[in-house]
Amino acid sequence: MTISESIDRPKERYRRMQFRRIWPRTLRPCHASLGFCGRGATELMWIILIYLALITGQMNTLQDKPVVHLHPHQDSIPAEFGGDLLVLVNGPTVVHLPNLFPTLDSQRRPWSVYVKNLGPGMVTIVGKSQFTVDVNVNRTVEIKSNGEAYASAH
C-alpha cells in the first residue's frame, strides 16, 4: 500500500458516511461493485409491484362484460346481446328491445343488457307492454327481463 492510498481511504470512508446521511435507505442508488441494490431498494420494488398488481386487477374487473355495437341502420337489440354491454355511438334515437321476452343469456344467467349512450343525443329504448327508458349521453342503463316483462335499473 502506498502513502497516497492510505491517505485516500479515510476520505473515502468519510464520503460514504456523508452519502448515507443524505439519502434515506430506500432511495439509495445501487453500488456497482456490490452487484445488488440492498434491502431498502428491494422493499421499494415490492411496493411498486404490489401497486401495479392492484391497478391491473382493477382494470380487468372494469371490463368484465363483452362490448357489442348495433349494425348500421339497425334499431333493435337482438336477444343474443344478453349479458353484454351495448355501446351506442351515433345510434338511432329509438332502439327496440326483443319482441319475445328473453329469459336467459348465453351463460345461462337471467337476461339483462347494459346500454351505454355515447351520443350525440338522447336515446329512447322501447319494449313491449308500454316499457320505455331514456338514456342520456354518457349514461349507462341496465335493462332486465324475467321472461314476462322488462325492468330497468339505473
What does the DSSP assignment read for the chain?
A: --HHHHHHHHHHHHHHHHHHHHS-GGGPPPPTTTSS--HHHHHHHHHHHHHHHHHHHHHHHHT-S-EE-PPTT--B--GGGTTSEEEESS--SEEEPPSSPP-B-TTSSB-EEEEEE-SSS-EEEEETTTEEEEE-TTEEEEEEE-SS-EEEE-
146 lies in the same domain as 114: yes
* Pair (90, 133) in one structural domain: yes
Q: How many domains would you assign to the chain?
A: 2
Are residues 80 and 56 located together in one domain of the fold? no
- Assess whether 136 and 94 both reside in one domain: yes
Look up residue 103 and give its three cell numbers.
329469459
Residues 36 and 84 in one domain: no
Q: Are residues 109 and 89 in the same domain?
A: yes
Tell me: the pLDDT tens digits for 54-107?
887 766 554 577 888 888 888 999 989 888 899 999 889 999 999 888 888 878
C-alpha angle with apex 102: 96 to 108, nearest 5 degrees? 135
Which of residues 42, 62, 82 is at a domain's end? 62
| Single residue among 15, 42, 62 that ends a domain in this structure | 62
85, 144: one domain: yes
Report residue 39's pLDDT band, with 50, 70 and 90 as the boundaries.
low
Is 9 in the same domain as 37? Answer: yes
Q: Say yes or no: 76 and 135 in one domain.
A: yes
Same domain, 26 and 72: no
Tell me: the pLDDT tens digits for 102-149?
A: 888 878 889 899 999 998 899 999 988 788 999 999 999 999 998 889
Residues 92 and 139 in one domain: yes
Q: What is the pTM of this model?
A: 0.58
Q: Which domain holds residue 99?
A: 67-153
- The C-alpha atoms of residue 139 and residue 150 are separated, in whole angstroms, by 19
